[in-house]
Structure 1
């Protein structure tokens, strides 16, 4: 999106903390106005908005429960109403709850599909309609971009987190279909991190050990992923593909998910 004549605005889902916050701050530092989505972490979202506002001209927070289709469909119009326009969506929010072949059931899969697959598709649909409306209003060169956060485990599967993995595999497939369906006005790109941030399931020492398990001797950092998201949003030639940002972890075979190793 070279030499914009208006402030570019991006909706980043799950931007209150962790990877979503890093993405929001990187984009704000690059001049993007950031709509910070959160579900329940309101104070964290307010902190992210404040940090973004120090870096760029505008930021605001928007809550939505991604298990509620009505709330999902209303989200992008709310952002448009606030900023006047939206140029991009980054689908960073993700449900990540453990199940396996023994514990798998309809309820867990449906919950993951709503949050991790259906919501990004609906937001891409809404962005495409918004861009089409701008074209109809006389903005002939209106363009949009969607970045979906995926996971290197799609190229290096293990039997853990079955519902989560299925939902991300469906999102990867949706990215291809949407790239075809929404062209030429909206591009759709996947970004697939490796092990990036630690969690309550890993000690600091264990995280450092696992992070080093890659051909490059390091997996992705939040800064690596955020920089790739920014690149994908701003490079007008990329659509319908996924950028793996994992130090090559997808080239190695792991028998279990990192959190259970």
Structure 2
């Protein structure tokens, strides 16, 4: 299951970041390493990118191991978590960053289909929920005095989206899957306490997506009250902050330059072409 291993002995607390081989997941993994965390790097298909991420984390003198798993497979999700905790006994944070983001609408030339809905729900909702449950069971079984050690309360961070507070019809299946995950944050936080905190983290437009041009992205990134939306670094720093803040659970932090405050009938990327 693991792509490579680090010969150094286990040190410090660890985080599992899904989709950590590239894009936002990669930046989150690197920021945790910069702040002294060891990192379990999950990837789906990008083995070379995962190895690059692992090498960069080791360059920061932190432990890193890459783990391959198809998040559309329940069996592989269970195998992933078992392999991670076997390698990182001090696992204190799970960041569910991996997701599918494909365009559809309920009433358009690219209509939402049963397959599209199922694919988005499996990777964007079912996989994070299953991993969160496994994280809870692990923390519950390994905690001798749950809730009493205020120095460290483990956490799950669910990557969401600012558009959940500012709905429009674009990316129908993606939005539904993330909306369900948002709803789960409060429910899981109540159910998993005092062993585990659960928090949502909602970026704004942060990286180019699909066939979006660089100029289109630049324009979209500026369409916020602050004149700029989130950067990968903003989201990564927020994730580390949430993982280290013991009093935060059952809520969602919007890191988007205020993008969610501006109602829009279309996804912002369609307003900048």
With the shorter chain as reference, the TM-score category is over 0.9
Say whether 1:106 aligns with 2:111: no
TM-superposed CA distance for 1:138, in Å, is 10
Q: Any idea what SS the aligned residue of 1:87 has?
A: strand
- Which residue is 2:23 aligned to? 18
d(CA) in 1 for partners of 2:181, 2:139 = 22
1:170 paired residue number:
180
* Larger displacement relative to structure 2 (134-143 or 163-172): 134-143
Q: Structure 1 residues 201, 132: CA separation in 2 closer, same or farther (over 3 Å shift)?
A: same
Query: Cα RMSD between the aligned structures?
Result: 1.7
Q: CA deviation at 1:40?
A: 0.2
Of 223-232 and 201-210, the range deviating more from structure 2: 201-210
Q: Which runs of 5+ in 2 are unaligned?
A: 1-10
Q: Is residue 128–residue 144 contact of structure 1 (8 Å, CA) maintained in 2?
A: no
Displacement, 1:260? 2.6
What is aligned with 1:3? Answer: none
- CA separation in 1, counterparts of 2:227 and 2:31? 24
TM-score by length of 2: 0.90
Q: 1:18 to 1:159 in 2, by over 3 A?
A: same
Which stretch of structure 1 is more off in the superposition, 81-90 or 14-23?
Answer: 81-90
- Asked if 1:64 is matched to 2:74, the reply is no
The answer to which of 76-85 and 185-194 deviates more is 76-85
Q: Which residue of 1 aligns with 2:132?
A: 124
Find the aligned partners of 1:29 and 1:74 in 2 and give their Cα distance.
28
Map 1:146-185 → 2, pairs under 5 A = 146-185=156-195
Match of 1:241 among 251, 268, 272: 251
Residue 251 in 1 paired to residue 261 in 2?
Answer: yes
User: Any idea what the Cα deviations from partners look like across 1:88-141, whole Å, max 9, x if unmatched?
Assistant: 100000100111013112221111111001111111111111111212599974
Aligned residue pairs: how many? Answer: 256
- Is the aligned partner of 1:81 residue 2:86? yes
2:206 corresponds in structure 1 to 196
Aligned 8 A contact 1:32 1:56 in 2: no
Alpha-carbon contact 1:33-1:56 (below 8 Å) kept: no
Shift of 1:144: 1.6
Q: Which residue of 2 aligns with 1:54?
A: 59
Structure 1 segments unaligned to the other structure (5+ residues): 1-5
The structural deviation recorded for 1:36 is 0.4
How high is the TM-score relative to the length of structure 1? 0.94
Contact 1:131 1:143 in 2 (8 A): no
